[in-house]
Structure 1
């Protein structure tokens, strides 16, 4: 089953640390969000294969938006 990693707040995407096809471990940083001048790392809960990256640097995301899909 795929893990949909979603934004927990309205933020700007500062940087993306993974690409489609990357294998990631639990706890790995997937991307960095920026909100109110704070950088917030978004971590992978379970390891797996990155099957989709839905955002890029500079994008604005809303709470609940899917950022990365891990399968």
Structure 2
């Protein structure tokens, strides 16, 4: 059953139509937001189309190294690997570029140090939680 909702966001009103999947279930009303909300760090984007079927993951580019593992925060495709194992990186330096829902996301080093392994390569599809690289 298709239901219509009126949603207020930042003093703007929107009409939203949604299909009811669980009849009889109603979510509680949201509380009023503070008058001055902080701006979002990244705009939210609704999926425009279904994601393509993931291809089987190719063999890792290198073996896992010691150090802090950095994992994929979302499923997507690796567009670019910016460093190689053995290179030194600064804290917050981009190491991998991940395409998710047609947005490029830079995956950064959590700390300054040496990249001990890079486990992905360009064009590879990754899932949430999959280790991308390690930094020691």
Range of TM-score over shorter length: over 0.9
Shift of 1:2: 1.2
Q: Of the candidates 70, 81, 98, which is equivalent to residue 5 of structure 1?
A: 70
* CA RMSD after TM alignment: 1.0
Give the match for residue 80 of structure 2.
15
Give, in whole Å, the separation in 2 of the partners of 1:5 and 1:32. 13
Give the match for residue 133 of structure 2.
68
- 1:22-62 CA-to-partner distances (Å, cap 9, x unmatched) read 00010100010001110000011101111100000000000
Q: How many residues align?
A: 71
- List alignment gaps of at least 5 residues for structure 2: 1-65
The correspondence of residues 1-71 of structure 1 with structure 2, limited to 5 A, is 2-71=67-136
